[in-house]
């Protein structure tokens, strides 16, 4: 070999080894796999959980999720990760990992507010040697809908509310998420016998209560009188934004009937807090409409509404358009009669869509998510 070639090979050898050539460090070392710090872990929601696993080398991670504590060896975890023999085992299987990269397995159909036990062991894909120690994680699922309260200085009382958090929010609360505040109408006013009266009459919260998911946090503020207090709403939004992992640039407000009126009244008073509003079957103060030119608005009404006339929505939209608006501003008048068009707005599969076959269905939640301050 010529001296100069030999010199180049010797000089480049360390670089080649560092890049994985030759006999350098193996990204898939032999022996039992080792966990990366903080792994494995479980991120639990209300009806599902994410099993997250990261190993230093490529591995097969065997897992078993049980409704009761198990005293299984690593051999049994591998065996029952393939074929369970216990009626308490809720889920089982294998997660394939690559060196240093997190792998995830979502376990579904869990019961709300229930305790579960997850067990893991990892096997090297290179030589099939597995960990002799079983790693376990205990977790408790949450509830899809919870009730809580905040203090109102405006009304000198505790105000109850219903909160919905999507699975992603429950599992990963360190991130920020959009939120929609919901205002009920006169039919949702609370009484002493019904401290929470928001889950009814086709409200967004009833839609969620029936098992449907929406891609944002939803808070339904409970009112105890027919006319919404703007200060009460503002206190609720302040509380919600501080209490939950909220993206302040994606705060939305919707309401139906008297709640639609409440949406208009709050929005003209505090437009700086909102990215978009969805007032339904309501009315507002056209003299203040131009304060909403920086807020996205989609209003809804039935053409013939004998309780709150459709002119209440039409006049507000026309007044905003005259400003002119800086954000999308529009109205949809359903060509039929009645007061409760919100059932279709909140539920694109509701039977009431048969009343207006000529109107294209839409997803109001997708529209909201497209809006940001």
Break the chain into its structural domains and give their ranges. Answer: 41-140, 145-369
349: left (phi over 0), alpha (psi -120 to 50) or beta: alpha
Q: How far apart are CA 349 and CA 298, in angstroms?
A: 19
CATH architecture classification, 145-369: 3-Layer(aba) Sandwich (3.40)
pLDDT at 12: 41
Q: The pTM is what? A: 0.90
Question: By CB neighbour count within 10 A (0-12 exposed, 13-18 middle, 19+ buried), where does 266 fall?
Answer: buried
Tell me the CB-side half-sphere exposure of residue 52, using CA atoms within 13 A. Answer: 14
Q: Which pLDDT does position 27 carry in this prediction? A: 67
CA angle 61, 58, 60 (to 5 degrees): 20
Q: What is the pLDDT of residue 191?
A: 83
Q: Which CATH number, 2.60.40, 3.40.50, 1.10.287, 1.10.3470, labels domain 41-140? A: 2.60.40
Give dist(CA 187, CA 91) in Å, integer.
43
Q: What is the distance between the alpha carbons of residues 215 and 304, in angstroms, rounded to a whole number?
A: 32
Q: pLDDT tens digit string along 213-251?
A: 999 999 999 999 999 999 999 999 999 999 999 999 999
Please state whether the peptide bond connecting residue 324 to the residue before it is cis, i.e. omega within 30 degrees of 0: yes
Task: Identify the CA nearest to 272 among candidates 294, 287, 241.
Answer: 294
Specify whether the CB–CB gap between 181 and 259 falls below 8 A. Answer: no
Q: For position 29, what pLDDT does the model report?
A: 73
In angstroms, rounded to a whole number, what is the distance separating the alpha carbons of residues 266 and 232?
Answer: 10
The rounded distance, in Å, linking the Cα atoms of 127 and 54 is 18
pLDDT value of residue 110: 98
Nearest Cα neighbor of 13 from 3, 22, 2 is 22
Task: List, for the chain, all residue ranges whose pLDDT scores fall below the cut of 50.
Answer: 1-24
Instruction: Tell me if the bond preceding 93 is cis, omega within 30° of 0.
Output: no
């Amino acid at each position: 070999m010529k001296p100069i070639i030999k010199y180049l090979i010797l000089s480049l050898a360390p670089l080649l080894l560092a890049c994985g050539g030759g006999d350098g460090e193996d990204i898939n070392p032999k022996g039992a796999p080792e966990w990366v710090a903080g792994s494995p872990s479980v991120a639990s929601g209300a009806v599902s959980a994410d099993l997250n696993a990261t190993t230093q080398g490529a591995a097969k991670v065997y897992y078993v999720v049980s409704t009761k504590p198990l005293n299984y060896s690593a051999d049994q975890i591998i065996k029952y990760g393939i074929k369970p023999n216990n009626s308490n085992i809720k889920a089982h299987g294998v997660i394939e990992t690559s060196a240093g990269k997190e792998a995830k397995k979502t376990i579904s159909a869990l019961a709300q507010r229930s305790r579960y036990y997850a067990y893991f062991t990892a096997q090297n894909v290179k030589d099939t040697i597995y960990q002799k120690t079983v790693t376990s994680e205990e977790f408790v699922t949450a509830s899809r809908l919870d009730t809580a309260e905040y203090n109102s200085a405006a009304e000198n009382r505790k105000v109850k509310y219903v909160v919905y958090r999507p699975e992603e929010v429950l599992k990963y609360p360190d991130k920020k998420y959009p939120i929609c505040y919901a205002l009920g109408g006169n039919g949702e006013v609370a009484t002493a016998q019904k401290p929470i009266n928001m889950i009814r009459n086709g409200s967004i919260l009833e839609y969620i209560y029936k098992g449907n998911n929406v891609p944002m946090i939803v808070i339904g503020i409970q009112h105890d009188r027919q006319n919404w207090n703007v200060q009460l709403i503002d206190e609720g939004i302040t509380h919600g934004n501080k209490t939950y992992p909220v993206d302040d640039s994606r705060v939305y407000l919707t309401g139906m009937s008297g709640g639609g009126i409440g949406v208009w009244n709050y929005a003209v008073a505090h437009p700086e807090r909102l990215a978009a509003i969805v007032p339904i079957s309501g009315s507002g103060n056209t003299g203040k409409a131009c304060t909403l030119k920086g807020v996205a608005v989609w209003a809804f009404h039935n053409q013939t509404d004998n309780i709150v006339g459709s002119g209440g929505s039409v006049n507000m939209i026309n007044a905003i358009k005259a400003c002119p608006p800086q954000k999308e501003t529009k109205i949809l008048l359903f060509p039929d009669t009645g007061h409760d068009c919100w059932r279709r707005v909140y539920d694109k599969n509701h039977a009431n869509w048969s009343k207006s076959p000529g109107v294209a269905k839409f997803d109001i939640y997708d529209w909201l998510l497209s809006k940001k301050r």
